[in-house]
Amino acid sequence: MAHPPLWLLFGAAAAYNVVAGFNSGGNLMGSFVAARAFTPTGAALVLLCGAAAGPWLVGTAVAHAIVFSVVGLPRLGPGVFLAAACAALAVLALSWWRRLPTNATLALVGALAGAGLAAAGPAAVVWDQLGRVFASMLAALVVGALSGGAVLAGLRFLLRRSGEGTPGTLRGLQAVTGLLQGFGYGSNDAAKATGLFALLGAWSSVAGRAALAAGQLPVPGWAIGAALGTFGCGMLLGGARIARRVGGGVYRVRSQDALAAQLAAGLTVIGAAAAGAPVSSNQTATAALLAAGAARRLSLPRWSLVTEMGATWAVTLPLAIALGAAAFALGAVA
């Protein structure tokens, strides 16, 4: 495959992250909208404010992991980068069109693996690192769910005398948990897109290419800004579609449920980011919200929709791998 121009690579990375804003951003907004704490626009702005602090305070270990730990993007080159970005974009766009949130991390990791396999065979994929990514994602899902139920139980105990009679206070506290959940996204999921932009910046300079050859990834401030800006645009433009489906379709979310889920998911994702483990903020948030509802009453969540969402997550990885390989093959022929 001929090296694609730099502007096309930037465009593909930006488009991927805008659609991630549609999908992941909408899912993160769901509990806020369902609990009527914020409008979709208000929820998006609170999440973005929290996300802006994540990379600066937690660091960019996840950005390094997404560039080096799946297929070694610096070695495989721009053709694999473009194929993976386009394939991940297609997976997320299909999910958004169906109004079902999917795992943006699985979409990107699967697309990288598929493009790497097509470019250089099985040796291109760092299989043990890939396994660690999946293990950390499953762990975050379980921890988020358990934490969501535990936090709700604690809230219900603390508010046992007031019952549901303090919605105003709980909605106000969601401004705090919204910042926390946004911080978690900024420190983990946004770092994946930051890594893509930082890689493009490194490829464009002699010093950057030397750093990549030494196994280092320079992460300039503009790469963080590009990741947050494109994600924010997607969340504001298309996030409400997913937010209303998740927030209103899973079950009738109360303020206590939303607060518990936001707190549990935010802390779980931040912990994973501090360890350099790429996880999915939106999948963790959904697990925490479902666990909070099930802790209130097992039959409360709409399990048919939950099953449909789970099926979407399950097909994301093989679909992304197939599309990543197909995109690279088409680019090689073109």
Q: Which of 22-26, 50-54, 89-93, 169-173 has the lowest mean pLDDT?
A: 169-173
CB 46 within 8 A of CB 184: no
> HSE-up of 117 (CA within 13 Å, CB side)?
17
Domain layout of the chain by residue ranges: 6-333
Q: Provide the pLDDT for residue 248.
A: 65
- Rounded to whole angstroms, the Cα distance separating 35 from 174 reads 9
CB atoms within 10 A of CB 215: 10
- pTM score of the predicted model: 0.86
- Rounded to whole angstroms, the Cα distance separating 81 from 150 reads 41
**138 vs 120: which has the higher pLDDT:** 120
pLDDT tens-digit readout, 97-113: 877 777 788 889 999 99
Cα torsion 61, 129, 73, 104: sign = negative
Q: Provide the pLDDT for residue 90.
A: 94
- Rounded to whole angstroms, the Cα distance separating 113 from 123 reads 11
pLDDT tens-digit readout, 240-293: 887 877 666 677 777 777 788 788 888 887 787 777 676 777 777 778 878 877
Helices (H), 69-205: 73-76, 78-97, 104-120, 127-158, 167-187, 189-203
Give the residue among 197, 210, 228 at the shortest CA–CA distance from 48.
228
Q: Provide the pLDDT for residue 102.
A: 78
Residue written as token pair 């509802």: 293
